[in-house]
Amino acid sequence: DISALKWREFEELIGEAYKRQGYYVEERGGNEPDGGIDLVLRKKGEMVLVQCKHWEAEQVGVKIVRELYGVVAAEGATKGILVTTGYFTRDAELFAHGKPLLLIRGNELSRLIEEGQESLMSKSARTYNRRL
């Protein structure tokens, strides 16, 4: 159960899911001030900033989405991803629409994690086939 994880374990799980999709993952969170950014993903010249919100019942509001958008612009990132165990307010979703922002809420997390596992399995299969 994802909601039972501590915030740090949650960040690590999200990072691992993106590693399995072929991204180089830099952890920026922890105890240091991070401008709200927990992970930096890099792949093929793309830089993606990820913010993880491990909240059980709370909704993530537009203020947090706006802040992420500001950091994405300031750092020249390709896009920003906000991952939460909860939900986003309607205003947050409306603000993100049409911007280089991806909002992933609790019920979509399992898909992200499954995609990471599938990516790892297909990579293993390609490696195996190359050896044959």
As assigned by CATH, the class of the 2-131 domain is alpha beta
Strands 59-60 and 87-88, by their bridges, are: parallel
d(CA 74, CA 87): 26
Domain boundaries, given as residue ranges, for the chain: 2-131
User: What torsion, rounded to 10 degrees, do the Cα atoms 76, 98, 10, 89 define?
Assistant: 130
Residue 54 has a pLDDT of 80
With H, G, I as helix, E, B as strand and everything else as coil, classify residue 107.
helix
d(CA 36, CA 44): 24
Residue 33 has a pLDDT of 55
pLDDT in tens, the chain (132 residues): 676 777 788 888 889 889 988 999 999 865 555 568 999 999 999 999 999 988 766 889 999 999 999 999 999 999 999 999 889 999 999 999 999 999 998 778 777 777 655 554 454 444 444 444
* Residue carrying structure tokens 């205003």: 91
pTM over the 0.95 mark: no
Could you tell me if 2 and 109 are in contact, meaning their C-beta atoms sit under 8 angstroms apart?
Answer: yes
Residue 131 has a pLDDT of 46
